[in-house]
Structure 1
């Protein structure tokens, strides 16, 4: 999984990718429109006439194959053009819709970036060194990469990609709002977003990063963060309530935590004392309590209520700030981390469903898409789902594959078979609107900044494609829309 900690990857271009890339840049017959399309399912509505769209729209430089629109949409189904990406339902199936009105499944790759991963042990990024050695000129890498992406059937540049590619493909923008406010991805530390300055901070971040893009049709939408920790996961076994109860008495988040306990216990301090084995005379005295909380029914209820209020605070503030400056683009949420052992609380998904247009999930360690779980998430959110990270690794790559998420198989042939099976199982679901593969190039065998050393790439560290993988993607991506429609 791609976890960018600012400052860990060297080079001015990465700085541009993280900052300037978010504020600029970077995407003959008309088929019958399905009468069952429902505009209510999208927060982004058509705003322009077809003639205006054709005259004014900025289009990707990449040339997609016959049967696909200028934006990589599927020409078999066309709806009313809006000039921007949006969500629609056609005959019971969710789709993204490209700016020209063609239905669109996002077939993307994360970290399509010539810088690759910096290895602290080496003191440099081996993929970047090999790119310079192979091409001599980054523009040649860009041209080659664009050709490869199109040939292999991709239509989207995902998170952490080189901004030079934004003019060629539809793309997503990662805002890292909480990350810039204090969220530590590696440790899973969640910031106190109940502070008074959070709203103003979010408005400034959004204005700087979103406002300049509000009229850019190449942008599919905005990820507001990546893999926030909503509860116990690989980084910590704590619930957020337990973490926030350790804060000082004057911390706004501590006050909310105490309010939650007071509400859940019905204002009965004696009942709380009995379960906590304390002798407080009022709930105000809890502000100075930094000890552990028991796992009783009421305290577990409080844990759920606190994370619900945290999510409400986060998603409401972030969404309001974005919509104040941009009514055109999709809000893609926080790229929830999900595995067989990691499940964000339902309370968070329920809140997210009120504010985002698409539920985006980073899904690892499943041989096929977990239909029952994804059905549940769709049911409680009422939103389509995009898988924004997933991957499989193979030992014949020569990489250790000892650090990093995902199933490991023996050969590239098996890796391609697993990948095909996974994508097909997901894209058949009626609410699936795309996938983003993790990632473009392999990690260094010596490990990147956090030690990950896995065979995630479509190309190896020498920029050589894994033929079994790219042949599979080339074949599958050409059929993906048909599989979704008929699934």
Structure 2
């Protein structure tokens, strides 16, 4: 198939078909905003609105030669296609925040010879459509067409929220805690010792964290205690916003890095400026956030938080991440196939990491407000053994793999060819020597090949984790090494867990799930040779304010009950030492900035874009947070 794009026309030219070829299937994902006042029609039919909330998977099916989509602003596009079967699906039923157009094109005698064309046309509102608003997002960052009880419609409401908040927080009953959020008196009760830093220990027959004061600490953390998560891209789609903060003056801080030329803005920050009637300040913002979080029963900041002086002064501790991603430490070579980590076989990598740790970790070595450091975030180690065999000689990992194979097969290329199936009928030409392997694509298609890649991954993981531990202990001897924040699929690899856990104090898993699986958590704990476990990222969402869903539940009350179920069923496990909810504030309705125009846009927060807390959800969380130590030692 040759694909030629010319303006708004896409031409597909095809040849050499297998006789019984059936057809082609195209899937186009539409951003969540189409589901908040958008519409579609298939063929010449009447426009039909996308549902505001998910109802069913299949929304429409029809044979036609044209499909049209409009977003809530009334702008959209049509695709003129050959006659074919069109289908509209709501992927929100699968927890994927998107709507989908699926087009099935069946091959015929004519199409096999010449292919076909898509013609795409930009559109204004349809004549029979309900007149849309002039914009999709209102001046407070909310969906314009959606009404809900907590919606802000006037700046006066923001100021009233500010005046009322101190009284509201004071009315919430507090639970006794030590200055770090630990269990008062537990130092004496469990004969623990204070070191001036957080550490891992045992009390009452289970794993625990211990505060700098020597008391039992169960982390009830919240990720992203900072406003950056609320940034969104506005450049190129300015017309969908009712209002954007002025480029100069008091709203400058609402723009990324205070620079409107970035085209990236935070309505959350803009609302904070309007709410308090003063320029945005990190210290003031974080101080208010900590007062809220403590009133709600949370005791610390999770990943992706910014530990301010104010937070440290009031003993609100956090868990930063080591500078091991290439963007954090210039000079690290991205690992092809798993770009969130580096190639551990890169020449000079020890010096690069040592320098990064010296600059970014060592200055905080005596800071008691750091519980520990995460190694990395959601590196897909399962992809590395698939990617490395296809790399070339410019990859240090590919060269190390070839060295391993040469050693393992004692220089006998014939043995290697047999083991990897390169002498089978239909295989590529057998390489003549091991040097030839450096620049050819290898396929892991035999049991021997899979075993060899397990051996390679053993070398890879040991080189990485041993180096990280060695340099971490050098630069941060007082802090815990918190593990790699694996996704559950990654953490299902016994070899990975065993190797990584030898070099960390705690194993961390970003455990998103609808149903708690204690057996899975027990396996991870056993493979780690008994290391404590931190559930380092998870959440539940609802769509009542128009945001996308992920691990979705029906409403905010159910969200709170889901939180309680998750925490209470895992905190009782004697090796779980904490949780980190993701995140403090909702993601923006138009998507997170670093993911482009269609980033995540979910109800992940304790507060919404207008800084209004989801109190029905939060008060359920507080019930569990207040009794966490009773749960642990029941």
Shorter-chain TM-score category?
A: 0.7 to 0.9
Q: Bigger shift: 251-260 or 215-224?
A: 251-260
Q: Are the structure 2 counterparts of residues 80 and 481 from structure 1 closer, same or farther at C-alpha, using a change threshold of 3 Å?
A: same
Q: How many residues align?
A: 408
Is 1:241 paired with 2:385?
yes
Q: Are the structure 2 counterparts of residues 336 and 461 from structure 1 closer, same or farther at C-alpha, using a change threshold of 3 Å?
A: same
Give the aligned partner of residue 50 of structure 1. Answer: none
Give the aligned partner of residue 401 of structure 2. Answer: 257
Unaligned runs of 5+ in 1: 1-63, 232-238
Report the 3-state secondary structure (helix = DSSP H, G, I; strand = E; otherwise coil) of the residue aligned with 1:161.
coil
Structure with bigger strand share is: 2
Give the aligned partner of residue 371 of structure 2. Answer: 220
How far off its partner does 1:141 sit?
3.1
Give the aligned partner of residue 577 of structure 2. Answer: 433
Alignment of 1:294-313 (within 5 A): 294-313=444-463
Is 1:335 paired with 2:481?
no
Higher RCO (CA < 8 A, seq sep 6+) = 1
Give the aligned partner of residue 397 of structure 1. Answer: 545
Give the aligned partner of residue 315 of structure 1. Answer: 465
Q: Are the structure 2 counterparts of residues 479 and 264 from structure 1 closer, same or farther at C-alpha, using a change threshold of 3 Å?
A: farther
Query: Does the 8 Å contact 2:560/2:620 carry over to 1?
Result: yes
Is 1:273 paired with 2:417?
yes
How far off its partner does 1:153 sit?
0.8
How far off its partner does 1:244 sit?
2.1
Query: Does the 8 Å contact 1:135/1:141 carry over to 2?
Result: no
| 1:321-373 Cα deviation digits (max 9, x unpaired) | 111122211011221122xx554522211111111001011111x12332111
How far off its partner does 1:432 sit?
0.4
Unaligned runs of 5+ in 2: 1-172, 239-263, 424-428
- Aligned partners of 2:564, 2:409: CA distance in 1, in Å? 50
Query: Does the 8 Å contact 1:222/1:331 carry over to 2?
Result: yes
Give the aligned partner of residue 114 of structure 1. Answer: 227
Query: Does the 8 Å contact 1:369/1:423 carry over to 2?
Result: no
Give the aligned partner of residue 60 of structure 1. Answer: none
Report the 3-state secondary structure (helix = DSSP H, G, I; strand = E; otherwise coil) of the residue aligned with 2:373.
strand
- Aligned partners of 1:189, 1:150: CA distance in 2, in Å? 33
Report the 3-state secondary structure (helix = DSSP H, G, I; strand = E; otherwise coil) of the residue aligned with 1:108.
strand
| 1:53-108 Cα deviation digits (max 9, x unpaired) | xxxxxxxxxxx955321111112521111111111122330000011110101110
| 1:296-315 Cα deviation digits (max 9, x unpaired) | 21111122222222111111
Is 1:480 paired with 2:628?
yes
How far off its partner does 1:154 sit?
1.1
Is 1:409 paired with 2:553?
yes
Is 1:71 paired with 2:218?
no
Q: Are the structure 2 counterparts of residues 373 and 320 from structure 1 closer, same or farther at C-alpha, using a change threshold of 3 Å?
A: same
Give the aligned partner of residue 325 of structure 2. Answer: 178
Is 1:92 paired with 2:202?
no
1:155 to 299, 323, 336: 299
- Aligned partners of 1:335, 1:343: CA distance in 2, in Å? 9
Give the aligned partner of residue 609 of structure 2. Answer: 461
Query: Does the 8 Å contact 1:75/1:102 carry over to 2?
Result: yes
Report the 3-state secondary structure (helix = DSSP H, G, I; strand = E; otherwise coil) of the residue aligned with 1:67.
coil
Query: Does the 8 Å contact 1:424/1:483 carry over to 2?
Result: yes
Q: Are the structure 2 counterparts of residues 351 and 173 from structure 1 closer, same or farther at C-alpha, using a change threshold of 3 Å?
A: same
Is 1:83 paired with 2:196?
yes
How large is the RMSD of aligned CA atoms in angstroms? 2.3
Query: Does the 8 Å contact 1:264/1:298 carry over to 2?
Result: no
State TM-score, norm by structure 1: 0.79
Q: Bigger shift: 166-175 or 456-465?
A: 166-175
Give the aligned partner of residue 26 of structure 1. Answer: none
Structure with bigger gyration radius: 2
Query: Does the 8 Å contact 1:67/1:76 carry over to 2?
Result: no
Query: Does the 8 Å contact 1:247/1:254 carry over to 2?
Result: yes
- Aligned partners of 1:373, 1:244: CA distance in 2, in Å? 28
